[in-house]
Each structure stands twice: as C-alpha cells, then as structure tokens.
Chains A and B, each alone.
Chain A
Amino acid sequence: MAESRVVLHFPKHLLDQPVTSTTVERFNLHFNILRADITQDQEGLMVLGLVGEPENIEGAIEFMREQGVRVQPLEQDVVRDDDRCTHCGACVVVCPTDALAMDPDSRQVSFDADKCVACGICVPVCPPRAMSIHF
C-alpha cells in the first residue's frame, strides 16, 4: 500500500461528473479529501490523498488524465522560499500535520512536503511570508 497526494483540476464540463468515485472504484483505492473548491474561473479543485497499490494509483492518475482532469503531485504546489524563511518557528504550532517542524538541535524549521495537506494556514502566519500555495 502506498499513499500519493495529488491536486486535481476539473474543467467546467466535468464538474457534474462522478469522476473521482468512478476512479477509486475502478482502481480499488481508498481516498481522503484534503480540500475541495470551485475556483473563481469555475474550475473544480480537489486535493486528494489516494491510498492503494502503487500501480493502481498510477493507473488511476492516468485514467483521470484521460477524462480531462489535470493532475499534479501536491508537493509541487506548496512551496517554501528558503531565502525568505528565517527559521524562526512561528509556523510550527499552526501546522496541523507537523509538516513544518522545528529540529531541537539544529534549530532549523524543516518542511516535509509529503506530510503537507495544503491547508494553507501557514501562509499568512509566516511573518516573513516564506510560504506560498500555487494551485
């Protein structure tokens, strides 16, 4: 079993189609919706954790692409500007998944994109504004 976090962009014509449930059913996957929105340009946006056999996850991503869904890995979307981050640590208590954590020895704040669920809480909390989300 593996978990893969992906950002799905649904074009307008797919908004009323059950693409996600068809996909998880067909590829025998579990899923966890981390975030779902309709954006201002009427595109559907979903951040999804897919759990299952690695080849099934790959197949599911391929299948959704064929349906017209734009799919990209989550870690490409939440970005820390390492030149901007001062490693103060203001973010670590607001991060719900410990993706941002202070190393007690090095005193550096680490950012683990695999743990990040793209909630975005850190973005306005970061004093020098080092965090950004690009969906």
Chain B
Amino acid sequence: MAKTYDEINERIRRGEVVVVTAEQMVDVVDELGASGAAEKVDVVTTGTFGPMCSSGAFLNFGHSTPRIKVSKAWLNEVPAYAGLAAVDLYIGAAEVAEGDPLNRTHPGSFNYGGGHVIEDLVAGRDVRLRARAYGTDCYPRRELDTWLNIEDLNEAFMCNPRNAYQNYNVAVNTSADRDIYTYMGVVKRDLGSANYCSAGQLSPLLNDPHYRTIGVGTPVFIGGARGRVFWQGTQHDPTTPRNERGVPTGGGGTLATVGDLKQMDPRFVVGVSMLGYGVSLALGIGTAIPILDEEMAAFTGVSDADIVAPIVDYSRDYGHNEGEPLGHVSYVELKRGQVRIEGKAVPTASLSSYVRAREIAETLKSWVEAGEFLLNEPVQALPSAEESEGFRMLNYRPAAPEGDE
C-alpha cells in the first residue's frame, strides 16, 4: 500500500503520524517484514554526528561608518574569505588560525580554527573581526577591528559543500614503527587501531541508498536547526560499488546542505582539533524519510550487519593512491570494539558519535510527531549511478617544469 508525501504530511498535521528512528526501524522490519513495516510506519528519522571538514558559514555583519569593502578578514585570527560583496564573509571549518605553528613540531595540536569560530558564534560568544581594505570612493574605510555577536549579524547561515558521506573508509596503519596523525584521528602503528567514522544504520544516505527521497530541497536537521539539502555534495559518487542491498561499500553519495546558524545549538556544532592534521567542525545532520512504500521500508530497515566499509591503509596507500583495500568489515564488527584484519585482532576507534546521532534522530522524531517538520518531494533528484560519471581523480597537467612546483 503506497503513501504519498501529501498523505504523510496530513498525518503529521493531524498528529497521527507514526515515526521511528532508523535504529528502531531495524527491529520493526525484522518483526513485520517490509510490507508490514510500510503499513505501520510513516516516517523514519536518521542522524549522524562527526567531523565534516567541508562546512562553513556565510556572514553579513552590516555596514560600518564610514563604509568598508573588506578585502582581507580574520575572525578570532582565523582567516575568512572576503572575495564577496563589501561586508559578506565565508568562514570555512578547516581554516587554521593565523600564526598557528601547524606541523612544525609534529604532531601539531591545532587548537583553534574556523570550526571553533562557528561554534563560538552559535554559542552566542563574541568573536573579534579584524579586516583590511584598500579603500574606494564608495567604501573609504581601510581598517576595522570590532567584536561581533551572532545576534547582531544580518545573516549567518551555514552553507556546506559536503556533509553526510553515505559511507566511509576504515583507516588503518600498516607501518611497523610509526603512529600516524590523520583526519581520521591517531591511527596506531602495526595495525594497532582501526578508525571509522559513520553512524552506520542511523546515517541518512545509508537509509536511502539510491537517493529516492533525499534530493535537492529535502528538509534536514542541521546543527540543531531546520535546513535543506541544496545540491549533491562535492565528490558525490553514486557509482561506488554496492552490495546486494544497494548499499555502497565505499564513500558513495554526499549532500550539500544549508541552514540558519542563528537557530543552531552548540551541542550539534562543535569545533574540533585533529592532532597532527588540522581543525574541523563536528556537525549533526539528520533526515526524515517518508515510508512511501515497501521499498522504502526495506531500505530504512538496513542494519549495521548489512553495511560494510573498506579497510584502507593510511600509512601509504591513501596518501599515494596506491594499493587496494585490505578487506571490508561490517559496522556490527566495528562497533563491537575489535575487528580482525590480516589475522590480527585490531581495536576500533570511532570518530563519529553514535550517541549524538541517536539524539539527532530522536529530536527529529519529536519534531515530526509535534507537527513541526513537514516532508516534501525533492525538487530535483541527486545524480544517480546511471547519470553520474563517477569520481574523477585530478587530470594532472604540470603547469611548471617538474621539480619546480
């Protein structure tokens, strides 16, 4: 028995909607089968919370007297992009504070960056803006040094080129004598740890593997606020190999998202420092998936046992684009705390918070139940495997003689 978006929204408005989280849906489908689950459940909520480097925010801080057309800007000493109109800035999550010693003493600690600026803004803390300009007839001012508070900004919205990777690598380190410091955390030598970063069965795109209901215009939970998917994310690759359930066995799809920073909650917008790597933003994203029919019930019934991730050696293969994955492991195994790789028991470390992912799915569930979160059909589908040319590596055409770069 198929349902339409309108019918589901009508049930949401009347307070009759049946919502479960993607974690709970595993048991519902187990018990009732996909067809029974589709009859019972109207909406399945998802959630994920982890470092998402391709995040950032546009800020418009209003005009000063005299006016300035900012050409260089720093927020708490973190460079912001000012190549926009006079008082528009973009602060990227992975930008490191100026003057940071970086990796000069390895591993660098990267204490503060764009992700922290965004968290400070969301938490209502003042942020210092320092700006320079070359001066024009219409924008005579050349310098600015002022405190900003999110309350005073005209607009502050997060606009993220890539969030919510459908699936992700498990990072390991096969070097004999060297721990490595990566965006996947500290990966210990000699297969000493297996670091993963996905909410697995709770993650948005793993519950809609072919992007049937998640597309351009889909409403999302983003950092505690209501936002939207505005495009496929960068590196969206629907051509990734899939298992018999259609679930990608590697990266797969991604989402570009937008949401009002002023409505966000610092609990779901957390600046993070990755030892020896850099700064980032741990962000919470969630979706509410309409159970239109049996197929969507089956998709959202996916469990950690059905999802596998590739084990990639980050000591050499990842950085140099060499080799093949050392194998695949399921999220059941990863979450058990220990996996077997090349005959060795390897402890696992997660970079993604499952408890917070759960909290996001539960929050979205309460929003839908309260009639505060309505669903809509995507206004444009994300590229499918058939339409996509897949992920391209750089077509490297040296612009300077080799060795002169």
Q: Contact residues of A with B, CB < 8 Å? A: 86-94, 102, 104, 106-108, 124-125, 127-129
Contacts and interface: CB of A to CB of B under 8 A. Distances in A.
Given A93-B188, A127-B272, A88 B193 contact: no
Interface string B94-128: 00000000000001010100000000000000000
A115 to B, nearest CB: 16
Interface in B263-278: 270-275
Contacts of A94: 186, 188, 349
A99 to B, nearest CB: 14
B200 to A, nearest CB: 11
B348 interface: yes
A119 to B, nearest CB: 14
Contact of A90 (B109, B349, B358): B349
Given A93-B195, A107-B355, 18 more contacts: A86-B49, A86-B353, A87-B354, A87-B356, A90-B349, A92-B349, A93-B188, A93-B192, A93-B347, A94-B186, A104-B335, A104-B336, A107-B354, A125-B185, A125-B275, A127-B272, A127-B351, A128-B271
B350 interface: yes
B310 interface: no
Contacts of A91: 349
Nearest to B350: A89
Contacts of A128: 270-272, 282
A87 B353 contact: yes
B353 A88 contact: yes
Contact of B51 (A89, A107, A127): A127
B252 interface: no
Contact of B185 (A90, A102, A107): A90
A124 B193 CA distance: 17
Contacts of A124: 107, 109, 273, 275
Contact of B282 (A86, A89, A92, A108): A86
Nearest to B284: A86
A89 B270 contact: no
B194 to A, nearest CB: 8
A111 B7 CA distance: 47
Interface of B: 49-51, 107, 109, 111, 185-186, 188, 192-193, 195, 270-275, 280, 282, 335-337, 347-356, 358
A107 B335 contact: yes
A93 B193 contact: yes
Across the A-B interface, give the 3 residue pairs with the lowest CB-CB distance, nearest first.
A127-B272, A89-B350, A93-B193
Nearest to A91: B349
B195 to A, nearest CB: 8
Nearest to A121: B186
Contacts of B185: 90, 125, 127
Contacts of B270: 86, 128
Nearest to A102: B337
Contacts of A125: 185-186, 275
A123 B358 CA distance: 26
Nearest to A94: B186
A88 B335 contact: no
Contacts of B195: 90, 93
